[in-house]
Amino acid sequence: MAADTRRGIVLLALLALLSWLLARQPREAALAPISKPDVRLNYALYDFSGMLLNDQGGVSLQIRSPVLRNDAESGVGTIEAPEIHIQQEQDRWYISAESAVVSPDHEHVTLAGAVYLSQRDEITGQVLEINSSDVLLDVTPRTAQTAAGVSIRQEGDRLDAVGMKLDMITRSYELLHDVRAHYEMP
């Protein structure tokens, strides 16, 4: 065998060995777990209707909307013209708005545009109606607040103010500024 042929074979064997070494994965990388695939999705639901059940199987919350959208990256949900019904013990709340934005942790809902909140006591039949705009609803403590103008009607009486804090569980509210009242005698 000629010297050039031997050198060619040795060079070819060295190149094959070098290619094999470079193509081989390090042992640590081969043993590393494969990360889970990202299954978050951007989506839009049309003619959306949903409900949450309590521990006894009763409906505690219902929501309807022509369009509900979710942004997977930010986790923010947007709802067009939401209609929300909340049942808590003897009280039934109805909430509507022009639109709503739900925070990624689902604990804060910003109701935008004209906002209507109504509470009806199922036992006494008393109704509390609140009209405002741009209301922040905190889900877990069931509170709401706004810095905008607010009008509250209850049993023929009317209160107007700028700004409000509402506790939906105790049915109590605090009017923050420029309060005006109109009371009707029975």
Digits of tens for pLDDT over the chain (186 positions)? 677 777 777 777 777 777 776 666 665 555 556 666 565 778 888 998 988 887 888 887 888 999 999 888 888 999 999 999 988 777 889 999 999 999 988 889 999 999 999 998 888 888 999 999 999 999 888 899 999 999 999 888 999 999 999 998 888 999 999 999 988 776
Give the integer Cα–Cα distance in Å for 29 and 58.
Answer: 51
Q: What are 87's strand-pairing partners?
A: 92
Domain extent for 167? 43-182
Would 37 be classed as within a structural domain? Answer: no
Question: Dihedral (C-alpha) 160, 111, 173, 108: value to the nearest 10 degrees?
Answer: -160
Furthest-apart CA pair in the chain: how many Å?
121
pLDDT for the residue numbered 75: 86
Q: Which two tokens stand for residue 75?
A: 């986790």
Would 58 be classed as within a structural domain? Answer: yes
pLDDT for the residue numbered 147: 95
Would 13 be classed as within a structural domain? Answer: no
- With 0.85 as the threshold, say if the pTM is over it: no
| 37 membership: H or E segment, kind and range | none
What total number of domains does the chain contain?
A: 1
H-assigned helices in 27-176: 27-31
Per DSSP bridges, beta strands 91-96 and 108-121 are antiparallel
Q: Which two tokens stand for residue 39?
A: 């299954």
pLDDT in tens, 166-180: 998 888 999 999 999
pLDDT for the residue numbered 148: 96
- 73 backbone dihedrals φ, ψ, rounded to 5°: -65, -45
Would 9 be classed as within a structural domain? Answer: no
pLDDT in tens, 37-57: 565 778 888 998 988 887 888
CATH number of the domain at 59, please: 2.60.450.10
Would 134 be classed as within a structural domain? Answer: yes
User: Which residue type does 182 have?
Assistant: H
Would 135 be classed as within a structural domain? Answer: yes
Would 38 be classed as within a structural domain? Answer: no
Give the integer Cα–Cα distance in Å for 168 and 137.
Answer: 10
